[in-house]
């Protein structure tokens, strides 16, 4: 693990290296950005570099510190992650007690709190006291995809580093080289995940993703053509894939988005489903108001499911709505 293995985020990595070179390491960082952009990987590589015995701008990957880091048994690194979507206060209390212990092998002790927005309010308030007066040897990295759930006083104590989506061209290159994807497959995944390197890799390793997409497109075609029976025959598919409802609804949403783009612009570079242009063209007769109503319906369905509305009812209502609008 080193900075050369990270796709994108060159500016952020360059700034972190400058901070190491000038010995201007902040006591607390907040790595902020959407999920699966590579924030955790950058945080771990930064931590490994700071703990490395060579004290360079990259981890040497040879010293005892780097070897222990690679084996996840470095005594001066602590990684905290949510359990069942929550970081409990007792975890933060244990951390605060532990912070006052000096480093075992290095000049620093580094604490990484992944999904830090999952801390409850009392845990955040307890951590705040440590952020106000941290020991000189402590460096804390908070990682979040939702900084709105962190109290303002924590944000004010951190050096905030914002992560942006990775360029599509870099994701496409990675997926073609390392995951044996065709140009069309890699381009679709990069567009679909909106620059999320982690999600792109996950979908590339999924045997079912493209199969599900093909079935969804077939269902959409049948429904648009007025096949009401298909709606109820296909509900088993949606129930079987309930855990992936966000992914499924995004596939449907981007499909109708592409129809609008095909109608209005006819620029294939802007279309996500580039490998399905012929099918999109066959559906381009749809009225623009109807498509917009369908898109609104999909967004509302996702919101309803997030609010724990009955999943099957929500999906059936959405599919029926595609015919009625």
Q: What are the start-end ranges of the H helices in 225-264? A: 228-233, 235-240, 245-264
pLDDT given for residue 32 in this prediction? 96
Provide the 8-state DSSP code for 149: G
pLDDT given for residue 124 in this prediction? 92
pLDDT given for residue 224 in this prediction? 84
pLDDT given for residue 152 in this prediction? 93
CA distance 298 to 315: 9
Residue-by-residue pLDDT tens, the chain, 325 positions: 788 889 999 999 999 999 999 999 999 999 999 988 999 999 999 999 999 999 999 999 999 999 999 999 999 999 999 998 899 989 999 998 888 888 998 999 999 999 999 998 999 998 988 888 888 899 999 999 999 999 999 999 999 999 999 999 999 999 999 999 999 889 999 999 988 999 999 999 988 899 999 999 999 988 888 777 777 788 889 999 999 999 999 999 999 999 999 888 866 778 899 888 888 888 888 888 889 999 999 999 999 999 999 999 999 889 888 876 4
Q: Report residue 163 as tokens.
A: 């992560």
* Residue of 162, 167, 168, 124 lying closest to 143 (CA atoms): 162
| 211 exposure class (CB count in 10 Å sphere: 0-12, 13-18, 19+) | exposed
Q: CA 318: distance to chain centroid?
A: 26
Cα–Cα distances in Å, from 119 out to 127, 133, 138, 146? 10, 20, 20, 12
| 25 exposure class (CB count in 10 Å sphere: 0-12, 13-18, 19+) | middle
pLDDT given for residue 266 in this prediction? 64
Average predicted confidence (pLDDT) for the chain: 90
Are 80 and 95 within 8 A, CB to CB? yes
Are 309 and 232 within 8 A, CB to CB? no
Are 223 and 319 within 8 A, CB to CB? yes
Q: CA 87: distance to chain centroid?
A: 19
Helix (H) or strand (E) holding 109: strand 109-113
* pTM of the complete model: 0.84
CA distance 13 to 163: 11
């Amino acid at each position: 693990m080193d900075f050369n293995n990270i796709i994108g985020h060159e500016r952020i990595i360059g700034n972190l290296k400058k901070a190491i070179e000038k010995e201007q390491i902040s006591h607390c960082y907040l790595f902020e950005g959407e999920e699966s952009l590579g924030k955790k990987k950058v945080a771990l590589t930064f931590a490994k570099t700071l703990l490395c015995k060579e004290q360079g701008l990259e981890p040497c990957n040879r010293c005892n510190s780097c070897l222990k880091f690679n084996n996840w048994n470095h005594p001066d690194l602590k990684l905290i992650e949510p359990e069942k979507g929550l970081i409990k206060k007792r975890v933060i209390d244990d951390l605060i007690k532990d912070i006052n212990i000096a480093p075992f092998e290095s000049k620093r002790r580094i604490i990484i709190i992944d999904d830090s927005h999952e801390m409850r309010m009392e845990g955040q308030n307890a951590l705040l006291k440590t952020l106000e007066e941290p020991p000189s040897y402590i460096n804390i990295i908070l990682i979040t995809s939702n900084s709105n759930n962190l109290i303002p006083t924590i944000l004010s104590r951190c050096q905030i580093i914002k992560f942006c989506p990775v360029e599509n061209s870099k994701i496409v290159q990675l997926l073609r080289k390392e995951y044996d994807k065709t140009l069309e497959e890699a381009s679709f995944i990069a567009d679909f995940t909106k620059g999320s390197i982690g999600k792109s890799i996950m979908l590339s390793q999924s045997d079912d993703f493209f199969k599900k997409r093909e079935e969804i497109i077939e269902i959409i075609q049948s429904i648009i053509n007025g096949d009401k029976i298909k709606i109820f025959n296909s509900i088993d598919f949606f129930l079987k894939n309930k855990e992936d409802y966000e992914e499924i609804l995004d596939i449907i949403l981007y499909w109708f988005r592409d129809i609008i783009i095909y109608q209005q612009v006819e620029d294939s570079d802007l279309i996500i489903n580039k490998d399905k242009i012929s099918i999109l063209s066959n559906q381009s007769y749809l009225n623009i108001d109807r498509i917009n109503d369908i898109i609104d319906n999909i967004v509302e369905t996702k919101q309803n499911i997030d609010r724990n509305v009955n999943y099957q009812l929500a999906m059936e209502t959405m599919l029926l709505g595609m015919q009625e609008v």
